[in-house]
């Protein structure tokens, strides 16, 4: 019985019964390919299997530790032989069932078993708070010896067990006489029946529950408070907190890095049992006290013959502290010394320490489980005890992470360890020994000339102000920079050090450590040693050097005052010998002030002290006196939280000291830093998200993460200047995808010939599952363990959901939590700044942010909790019931990633499955879009109509219990048609506002538009709610794909990746669409295991394969990969049973069929609704692919391409006729009208537009219809512009923009603004042009779309040329953009846009008489002019090109003009003729081109032409264009 005293008499339980013991041990063979978490999880699962086997055979489990469990059968003496037979049979069945277990990570797990029988004793040691149950005796030692003698897959019996058993029943092999035998098998002896034998043994085991569902009587005990109080003493306190909190057992387990300490005590064999138990009690009390003081816990105590082992852990869940390895080493050495000095009869004391990842949690079965630690590091710490007896040994990881001086260690020789393949270097810890030396000058960081200091202008300004104050006021100044760990304080000091030395100041830098605060006057001692340059001179020369430094400033008899400070030996003078200690200290300070006063007269002096919170009290007092006496500058850094002594408080309150908070880096600065660390000018969007979510403005974290990415070799680097070419393979498009976006990070150095790179992430890498670097993970886990158990559990569950999470899903993962409790804990975490409410309107900060330290906030919050423990205010409860929003995000860096990594693999998969189940029903368009799939009718196309019943749910839910205990009855299923509640269902409204089903004229349509837009409320005007599809993509679809990938449901992951890609394309985010499709490609590229053929591991339907091709084709089209886009579009059509011809003959034949046969071959729609929607899904994809094809072919201005484009348009029109909804028909005819205008077919252009108007009567009652209306409005504005009706075009443009703002379609809005700008520009409303461009810039600058920016800068060049002083962007910015991206495939494929850009640049250089640059851009424009069409951009570019010709003929110098061949004029006239024939559908430019043509004719004789006629052409021609009326300028909102 425990006494609670340091030395007490443990209570011995005399056991009258005999016992058979079984000790199985798992061995790990082969080098693992996978991670240590997988190995630990596999070991825990297998130990649980053994537990069930033992319980089924009537045994019980005494304890489970590491890879070993001890099982007992308690019976009487005369029953032992029968029980041994039973245990032997149990062992054989376990070995047969287990065999060699092959894990998927490459490890082979094998089993060895030891058996023994005889008498044991049970002992309880500890105190009233914590107790441990031990078993001891000779037979306990025998079972351990038998297990050690056994090899893999062997069963060994101790000699005593062999003597007590029925020997004729067994086939054995004598291993060692009088020691052990090896059991091979049991003999089959007639009439022996094992079932009868088993029933017989059950009579000896009264606790066995043969007829009950439970295998242990302990599970059926009634509540007993006294028994519970006793049992609680045998459980660790951090585990008790979680049990009291009500956490399920499955949530308690974690995989984390801890420090293991194993203490082995071996006593002399002469010690008698009772004394031996007293010694164990004494050692246990001391060890537990020391370990708990250091932040650890005593986990388990093992007994062996005349000895015992104590297994301790530092950093267990809830106990993580900084400097964990240091505390473990110091505690171990204290225990080592105590045991040698205070325990009598001690023979040997050995201590081993390891640090590494282990499984900390529950192992076993439901009937019997135990909290333990499992992992390779646990095995290593046990082997080190045997390999290095009598010392305190540690592994290399502990040695490095302790950060202790090397002279405290001694390297140990390498030794072979059983079952340990590569243990690494080992060290003996010699204890903390102080070396007699002062510190040296150094800073934590050195200045990197290639990495400028970011966002620290205000902080540097504070230092400059201190410099000026010290110079003018002749008083000391102090600047203290306060900021969290990793905020860049040391980097700031390095910059100040550089700037000060550059200005000629003398700088004395030093960095302090935590241990330095315990040494009185250490900081000043080190600073003055640096001042006297003693830190860099040899020890033998130190005294002479100091003598020279002091000569003339300090009297010779006073030199001996510095003997102890600087470790010199000046003779003791008579004057000093008569001073007491206080007088000596006072005199030393006076001498220091005198020396420093003389020094600053020659050179300004600056002290730099990093980590100044570790200053000792005497040093603070000295520095405060120094400020008031000597004009020096002291610059310090402080890392909160730090306890400040009185001297520090007085120093901070000094008027000469200023405290400057260090702010977090802004988003742009953090990304710029990441680019510099990776030595690139651009990083992909997924990598930006990876860095921003993990760093949250912390530069140190950004630096470590970037170094970790480089070390793991998961990035690919590409030369930015390499010529971009069209790619024929989808798999190699990553570099092209990055080049299709804008990079805005300037290179770190300014060298002109510097090679510039950008990076991409390898296709097979999932950044969401990349583990954190160990250093960063330790920081985050330290922060997590400061929280309460309920707060930790919430953070861990939220981490599984993702960076953003919904409170309903979070509550679903938290068993037994009501909404009130959830909101209360959330509020506490938000107050600590660990979480924050998410608002879709919030933007990433562009400026640095000052945020208090998380640790400090946590401490403050805990204090508030203590003050409010008297009762929770009712008013606050009411506030919690109404949160600001239902979505939150993580607000502390690294916390989410570290918490996610703590989950063992099995729990991770189970929780991700629950998240997927919850989110699946939300994975559809928003309510405003009437639900449905982002890929139209996706779920209908992949589900067979024969299976009309609802697909079963993922889990069979129980009324109580955690989600991890639910029985999984089926895999994650794809959504079924029955899951859809609002799939593509248009609202049924009668068109009351219309007198007929169709508009008869354009006027009726425009009257309806005006009537709708004249209403006051946007909801009333447009009859729709705001679209939330972007939030659904971010918070549902993207996390859902991640959940599916983690749980291995690749088919479902592929489905949702297609949905996410389609949603991204709807939102004009082409790069993220490429990102999702690339993930989908990696899923399809996974081959079947052990398959010689390249068969896909994931089976998808033909429709999904076609959709996959269609989406990739659209992405390639947006990236300028025209050839690959055509190939994929054709492939998609072939899969959709709608082939597209390859040859001109095929085009002719298919055109004939489409014109004359297609209308006769239309099939009747099926009556089955599901079949009908499946047909609509296929039809939608066909129309989409055909639309892509004609857009692709129109990019090539050849006759053959025009034939293909017209055929694709014809096929699209015929397919669209099968649509039931009018919205799709309207959109189709709008796009066909655009094609007709591009190819110059005026009649078909206006005809298609009129049909679209007629069919748009019902388009106001749904978002899809409203989108079609906006497209039609844009087309009408475009038409009026081309026809020269500019005021009407402007009016329609404003109305179209008003509708687009509510649709969340950036691409369409950008197109509307482009048309609106062109109309305002031709109307000479340049102020309106600038306003339109500002709105366009706000729209396209966030997406970094190269094509959109090219159109934007083309418009800016027009304003620069003709805008009469109106300026949106300077010419230099426009030119830099063109030079940087003109070789991009996106722009090289868009001849219409680039013709206008190069022609405008040529005109600019011609006006500036830079004829060489003019020729460069003019030649490029000449190459492009043959590839343009009659579209607005094409016609505009052609006009600019013709203006270049006129300028060349008008302004070119006579000497240059004489070298122009005579045919130049005739060639120019041919261009004019070609313009009128090609651009017949864009008459807005015809009059001006006619005047230009006339000017060319005059140029043949070099007739002078006024320059204003060229630079301001619209003054002379466009004033005569017919305009219906003036339109009042309105604001773009």
Give pLDDT tens digits for 1443-1493. 888 887 777 665 555 555 555 677 888 888 888 888 888 888 888 888 888
Q: What is the percent of the chain with per-residue pLDDT over 90, rounded to a whole number?
A: 17
Is the predicted pLDDT of residue 290 greater than 90, yes or no?
yes
Q: What is the pTM of this model?
A: 0.83
Contact (CB, 8 A) for 1376 and 1329: no
What is the chain's mean pLDDT, rounded? 78
| pLDDT per residue as tens digits for the range 500-546 | 888 888 888 888 887 777 788 888 888 888 888 887 778 788 888 88
β-pairing, 108-118 with 18-29?
A: antiparallel
String of DSSP letters for 476-520: -EEEEEE--TTSSHHHHHHHHHHHHHHTT-EEEEEE--GGGGGST
Lowest mean pLDDT among 65-79, 404-418, 862-876, 951-965: 951-965
Cα angle at 1344 between 1338 and 1346, to 5 degrees? 110
Cα-Cα-Cα-Cα dihedral sign, residues 1443, 1448, 1452, 1457:
negative
Longest dimension (CA), the chain: 132
The pLDDT assigned to 995 comes to 33
Most confident of 386-395, 615-624, 1156-1165: 386-395
Q: What is the mean pLDDT of residues 1206-1224?
A: 76
Res. 1037 pLDDT band, cuts 50 70 90: very high
Q: What is the mean pLDDT of residues 456-471?
A: 87
pLDDT in tens, 1125-1149: 999 999 999 998 888 888 888 888 8
Query: How do residues 971-1017 score in pLDDT, each as one tens digit?
Result: 566 676 555 444 344 443 333 333 334 445 777 777 777 776 666 45
pLDDT greater than 60 at residue 753: no
For residues 1185 and 1176, the answer to whether their CB atoms sit within 8 Å is no
Q: What is the token pair recorded at 178?
A: 């009088």
Residues 6+ positions from 479 with CB-CB distance below 8 Å: 462, 463, 466, 633, 634, 635, 636, 657, 658, 660
Residues 644-683 have pLDDT tens digits of 788 888 888 888 889 999 888 888 889 888 988 888 888 8
Which backbone phi and psi does 372 adopt, to 5 degrees? -150, 180
pLDDT confidence bin for 840, thresholds 50/70/90: low
- Contact at 8 Å (CB) between 1155 and 1350? no
Q: Is the dihedral of CA 1271, 1277, 1279, 1282 positive or negative?
A: negative
**1095-1107, pLDDT tens digit by residue?**
566 788 899 999 9
* Percent of residues, the chain, with pLDDT higher than 70: 79
Contact 1155, 1214 (CB under 8 A): no
How many residues are given for the chain?
A: 1533
User: Which tokens sit at 1163?
Assistant: 């099939």
Q: Please say whether the beta carbons of 253 and 361 come within 8 A.
A: yes
Write the DSSP symbol of residue 541. G
CA 7 to chain centre: 53
Q: Which helix (H) or strand (E) holds 62?
A: strand 60-65
Name the H helices within 1034-1121: 1038-1047, 1050-1066, 1070-1084, 1102-1119
pLDDT at 598: 86
Residue reference for tokens 């939280």: 641
Max mean pLDDT among 51-55, 212-216, 537-541, 569-573 falls in 569-573
Chain segment 1050-1089, per-residue pLDDT in tens: 889 999 999 999 999 988 888 889 999 999 988 887 654 4
Q: How far apart are the first and last CA of the chain?
A: 80
pLDDT value of residue 1280: 87
Question: What confidence score (pLDDT) does residue 1430 get?
Answer: 84
Tokens of 639: 């890392």
pLDDT, tens digit, for every residue of 1312-1355? 899 999 999 998 888 899 999 998 888 887 666 788 888 899 99
Distance in angstroms (rounded) separating the CA atoms of residues 1393 and 1387:
8
What's the CA gap between 1099 and 1088, in Å, rounded?
A: 11
* Contact call for residues 516 and 439 (beta carbons, < 8 A): yes
Q: Which residues are bridge partners to 310 per DSSP?
A: 263, 301
Pair 1406, 1447: CB distance under 8 Å: yes
Task: Tell me the mean pLDDT in the region 811-839.
Answer: 90
3-state secondary structure of 103: coil
Helix (H), strand (E) at residue 890: strand 887-890
Mean pLDDT of 236-251: 86
Tell whether the model's pLDDT for residue 48 goes beyond 80: no
């Amino acid at each position: 019985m425990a006494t609670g005293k340091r030395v007490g008499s443990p209570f011995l339980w005399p056991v009258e019964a005999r016992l058979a013991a079984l000790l199985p041990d798992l061995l790990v063979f082969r080098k693992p390919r996978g991670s240590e978490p997988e190995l630990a999880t596999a070991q825990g699962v297998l130990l649980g299997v053994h537990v069930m086997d033992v319980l089924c055979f009537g045994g019980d489990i005494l304890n489970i530790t590491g890879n070993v469990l001890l099982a007992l059968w308690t019976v009487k003496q005369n029953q032992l032989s029968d029980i041994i037979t039973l245990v032997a049979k149990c062992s054989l069945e376990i070995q047969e069932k287990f065999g060699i277990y092959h894990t998927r990570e490459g490890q082979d797990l094998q089993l060895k078993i030891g058996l023994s029988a005889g008498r044991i004793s049970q002992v309880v040691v500890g105190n009233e708070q914590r107790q441990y149950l031990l078993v001891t005796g000779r037979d306990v030692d025998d079972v351990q010896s038998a297990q050690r003698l056994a090899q893999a897959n062997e069963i060994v019996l101790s000699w005593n067990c062999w003597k007590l058993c029925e020997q004729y029943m067994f086939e054995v092999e004598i291993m060692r006489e009088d020691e052990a035998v090896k059991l091979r098998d049991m003999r089959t002896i007639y009439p022996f029946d094992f079932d009868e034998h088993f029933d017989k043994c059950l009579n000896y085991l009264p606790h066995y529950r043969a007829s009950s569902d439970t295998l242990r009587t302990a599970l059926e005990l009634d509540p007993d408070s006294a028994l519970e109080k006793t049992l609680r003493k045998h459980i660790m306190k951090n585990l008790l907190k979680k049990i009291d909190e009500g956490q399920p057992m499955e949530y308690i387990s974690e995989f984390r890095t801890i420090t293991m300490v194993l203490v082995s005590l071996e006593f002399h064999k002469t010690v008698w049992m009772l004394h031996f138990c007293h010694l164990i009690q004494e050692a246990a009390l001391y060890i537990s006290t020391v370990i708990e003081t250091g932040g650890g816990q005593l986990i388990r105590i093992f007994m062996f013959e005349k000895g015992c082992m104590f297994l301790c852990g530092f950093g267990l869940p809830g106990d993580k502290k900084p400097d964990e390895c240091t505390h473990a080493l110091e505690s171990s050495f204290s225990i080592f010394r105590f045991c040698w000095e205070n325990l009598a009869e001690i023979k040997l004391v050995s201590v081993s320490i390891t640090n590494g990842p282990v499984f900390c949690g529950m192992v076993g079965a439901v009937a019997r489980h135990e909290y333990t630690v499992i992992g390779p590091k646990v095995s290593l710490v046990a082997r080190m005890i045997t390999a290095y007896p009598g010392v305190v040994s540690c592994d290399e990881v502990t040695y490095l992470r302790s950060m202790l001086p090397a002279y405290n260690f001694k390297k140990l020789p390498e030794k072979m360890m059983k079952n340990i393949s590569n243990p690494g270097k080992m060290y003996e810890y010699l204890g903390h020994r102080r070396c007699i030396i002062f510190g040296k000058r150094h800073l934590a960081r050195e200045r990197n000339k290639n990495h400028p200091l970011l966002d620290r202008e205000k902080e540097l300004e504070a230092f400059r102000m201190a410099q000026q104050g010290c110079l003018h006021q002749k008083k000391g100044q102090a600047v203290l920079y306060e900021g969290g760990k990793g905020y860049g304080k040391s980097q700031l000091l390095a910059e100040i050090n550089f700037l000060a030395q550059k200005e000629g100041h003398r700088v004395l830098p030093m960095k302090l450590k935590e241990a330095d605060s315990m040494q009185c006057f250490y900081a000043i001692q080190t600073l003055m040693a640096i001042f006297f340059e003693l830190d860099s001179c040899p020890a033998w020369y130190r005294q002479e050097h100091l003598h020279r430094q002091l000569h003339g400033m300090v009297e010779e008899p006073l030199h001996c005052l510095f003997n102890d400070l600087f470790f010199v030996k000046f003779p003791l003078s008579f004057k000093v010998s008569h001073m007491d200690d206080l007088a000596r200290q006072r005199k030393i300070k006076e001498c220091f002030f005198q020396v420093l006063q003389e020094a600053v007269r020659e050179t300004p002096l600056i002290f730099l002290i990093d980590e100044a919170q570790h200053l000792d009290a005497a040093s603070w007092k000295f520095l405060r006196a120094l400020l008031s006496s000597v004009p020096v500058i002291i610059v310090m850094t402080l890392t909160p939280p730090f306890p400040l002594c009185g001297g520090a408080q007085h120093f901070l309150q000094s008027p000469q000291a200023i405290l400057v908070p260090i702010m977090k880096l802004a988003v742009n600065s953090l990304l710029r830093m990441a680019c510099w660390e990776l030595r690139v000018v651009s990083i992909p969007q997924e990598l930006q998200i990876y860095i921003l979510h993990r760093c949250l403005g912390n530069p140190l974290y950004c630096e470590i993460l970037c170094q970790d990415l480089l070390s793991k070799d998961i990035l690919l680097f590409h030369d930015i200047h390499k010529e971009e070419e069209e790619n024929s393979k989808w798999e190699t498009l990553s570099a092209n995808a990055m080049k299709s976006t804008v990079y805005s990070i300037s290179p770190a150095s300014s060298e002109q010939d510097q090679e510039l790179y950008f990076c991409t992430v390898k296709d097979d890498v999932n950044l969401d599952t990349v583990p954190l670097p160990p250093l960063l993970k330790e920081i985050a886990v330290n922060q997590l363990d400061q929280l309460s158990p309920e707060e930790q559990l919430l953070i861990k569950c939220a981490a599984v959901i993702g960076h953003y999470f919904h409170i309903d899903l979070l509550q679903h993962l938290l068993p037994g939590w009501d909404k009130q409790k959830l909101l209360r804990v959330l509020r506490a975490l938000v107050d600590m700044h660990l979480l924050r409410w998410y608002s879709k309107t919030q933007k990433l900060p562009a400026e640095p942010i000052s945020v208090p330290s998380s640790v400090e906030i946590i401490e403050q919050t805990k204090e508030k909790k203590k003050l409010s423990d008297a009762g929770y205010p009712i008013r606050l409860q009411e506030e919690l019931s109404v949160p600001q929003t239902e979505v939150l995000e993580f607000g502390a860096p690294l916390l989410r990633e570290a918490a996610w990594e703590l989950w063992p693999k099995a729990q991770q998969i189970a929780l991700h499955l629950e998240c997927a189940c919850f989110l699946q029903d939300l994975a559809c368009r928003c309510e405003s879009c009437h639900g449905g799939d982002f890929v139209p009718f996706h779920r209908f196309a992949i589900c067979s109509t024969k299976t009309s019943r609802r697909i079963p749910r993922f889990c069979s839910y129980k009324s109580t219990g955690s989600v991890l205990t639910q029985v999984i009855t089926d895999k994650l299923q794809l959504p079924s048609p029955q899951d859809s509640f609002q799939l593509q269902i248009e609202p049924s409204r009668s068109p009351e506002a219309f007198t007929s089903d169709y508009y008869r004229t354009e006027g009726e349509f425009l009257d309806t538009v005006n009537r709708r837009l004249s209403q006051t409320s946007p909801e009333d005007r447009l009859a729709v709610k705001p679209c939330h599809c972007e939030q659904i993509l971010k918070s549902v679809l993207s996390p859902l794909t991640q959940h599916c990938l983690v749980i291995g449901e690749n088919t479902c992951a592929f489905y949702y990746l297609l949905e996410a890609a389609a949603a991204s394309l709807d939102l004009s985010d082409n790069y993220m669409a490429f990102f999702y499709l690339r993930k989908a490609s990696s899923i399809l590229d996974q081959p079947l295991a052990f398959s010689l053929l390249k068969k896909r591991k994931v089976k998808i339907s033909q429709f999904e394969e076609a959709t996959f091709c269609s989406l990739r084709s659209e992405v390639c089209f947006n990236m300028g990969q025209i050839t690959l886009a055509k190939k994929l579009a054709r492939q998609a059509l072939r899969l959709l049973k709608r082939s597209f011809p390859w040859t001109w003959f095929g085009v002719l034949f298919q055109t004939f069929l489409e014109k004359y046969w297609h209308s006769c071959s239309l099939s009747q729609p099926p009556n089955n609704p599901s079949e009908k929607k499946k047909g609509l899904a296929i039809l939608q994809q066909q129309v989409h692919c055909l639309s892509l094809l004609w857009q692709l072919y129109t990019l090539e201005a050849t006759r053959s391409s025009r034939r293909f484009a017209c055929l694709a348009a014809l096929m699209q029109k015929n397919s669209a006729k099968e649509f039931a909804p009018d919205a799709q028909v309207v959109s189709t005819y709008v796009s066909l009208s655009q094609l007709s205008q591009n190819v110059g077919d005026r009649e078909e252009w206006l005809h298609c537009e009129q049909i679209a108007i007629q069919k748009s009567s019902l388009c106001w009652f749904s978002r899809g219809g409203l989108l079609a209306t906006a497209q039609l409005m844009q087309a009408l504005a475009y038409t009026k512009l081309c026809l020269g009706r500019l005021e009407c075009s402007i009016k329609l443009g404003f109305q179209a923009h008003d509708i687009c703002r509510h649709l969340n379609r950036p691409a369409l809005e950008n197109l509307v603004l482009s048309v609106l700008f062109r109309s305002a520009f031709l109307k000479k409303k340049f102020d309106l042009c600038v306003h339109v461009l500002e709105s366009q810039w706000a729209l396209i600058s966030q997406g970094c779309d190269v094509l959109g920016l090219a159109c934007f800068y083309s418009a800016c060049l027009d304003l620069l040329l003709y805008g009469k002083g109106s300026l949106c962007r300077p010419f230099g910015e426009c030119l830099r953009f063109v030079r940087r991206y003109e070789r991009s495939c996106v722009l090289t494929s868009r001849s219409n846009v680039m013709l206008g850009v190069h022609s405008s640049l040529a005109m600019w250089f011609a006006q500036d008489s830079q004829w060489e640059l003019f020729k460069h851009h003019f030649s490029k424009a000449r190459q492009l002019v043959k590839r343009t069409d009659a579209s607005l951009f094409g016609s505009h570019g052609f006009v600019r090109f013709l203006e270049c010709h006129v300028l060349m003929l008008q302004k070119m110098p006579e000497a240059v003009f004489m070298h122009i061949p005579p045919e130049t004029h005739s060639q120019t006239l041919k261009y004019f003729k070609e313009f009128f024939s090609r651009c017949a559908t864009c008459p807005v430019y015809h009059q001006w081109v006619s005047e230009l043509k006339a000017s060319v004719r005059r140029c043949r004789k070099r007739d002078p032409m006024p320059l204003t006629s060229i630079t301001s052409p619209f003054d002379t021609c466009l004033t005569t264009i017919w305009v219906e009326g003036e339109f009042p300028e309105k604001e773009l909102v």
